[in-house]
Amino acid sequence: MIAALVFMSLLASVGIAKDPEFEYTIPQATVAPRIDGKLDDGLWKAFEPVEWGNINEGGEVDEDQFSRSWAAYDDKFIYVAFENLEPDTGNLLTAVKAHDGGVWEDDENELFIEPANAGTQPYFHIMINANNVTEDSESGGADAGWEPDLESATQVYNDNWVLELKIPFDDLDIDEAPVGEMWGWNFNRHIMTGAGIWTGWSLTGASFHTPDKFGVLIFGLDKAAVDPSGKLAGTWGNIKDTR
């Protein structure tokens, strides 16, 4: 076990130095979640999410518009879930109906993924609105031809909306599960049930497209303790839950 921890530490040291407040260690999934926008899978109950509501140009949104996010992985996929608190779900904006049609203008979530953790391009960018319309690009938006084989689902409830998705490592140019590695990463959101607010987990300033200020996702050694039925979850350590 000591050797394994040393191995993880050495791998995680690769990349640029970033604010340690925005580090999130994720587990290996023993049971894959159902991608249905319901958050009732044992995987999401097995460990704590990160909670965030930082406005990109300073301050925080009210707690009733905070978001929570989880991520986990196995040999082939990264699994991600967002829960977006919203007291006015009846007025969510989902005007964009076409893939790659300007999803960023709607109520939507965004992921920024930079496997090299070098704080620069290229990085992968995924946007999905509350009606499950997707948009994706590579190299900071310069290559809109990147078309990952995503599976995603959204559900809108009385006081929140939920997004779940899974991303193949193959589409991130990763040949095997990056156990112990440290990636540049950010969870983001556009809130349109008011004047329009851009929020995120790691503070990036005026633009989400600031890779040297992305947070850090660490691919942990621990496994989420989920019953084979997918219903029950245990507990495990090695989560740093910060915002």
The enclosing domain of 17 has a CATH number of: 2.60.40.1190
Q: What is the pLDDT of residues 106-119, one digit of tens each?
A: 999 999 999 999 99
Report how far residue 153's alpha carbon sits from residue 128's, in angstroms, rounded to the nearest whole number: 9
pLDDT band at 147 (very low <50, low <70, confident <90, very high): very high
Q: Does residue 158 form part of some domain?
A: yes
Q: Does residue 230 form part of some domain?
A: no
Phi, psi at 194, each rounded to 5°: -175, -135
Q: Does residue 179 form part of some domain?
A: yes
Domain tally, the chain: 1
Q: Does residue 234 form part of some domain?
A: no
Q: What is the pLDDT of residues 36-84, one digit of tens each?
A: 999 999 999 999 999 999 999 899 999 999 999 999 999 999 999 999 9
Q: What is the pLDDT of residues 153-194, one digit of tens each?
A: 999 999 999 999 999 999 999 999 999 999 999 999 999 998
Q: Does residue 233 form part of some domain?
A: no
- Which SS3 state, helix, strand or coil, does residue 159 take? coil
Question: Is the full-model pTM beyond 0.85?
Answer: yes
Q: Does residue 157 form part of some domain?
A: yes
Q: Is residue 143 packed enough to be buried (19+ CB in 10 Å), middle (13-18) or exposed (0-12)?
A: middle
Q: Does residue 196 form part of some domain?
A: yes
Q: Does residue 231 form part of some domain?
A: no
Residue type, 73: Y
3-state class percentages of the chain: helix first, strand second, coil last, to nearest 5: 15, 35, 50
Domain range enclosing 159: 2-223
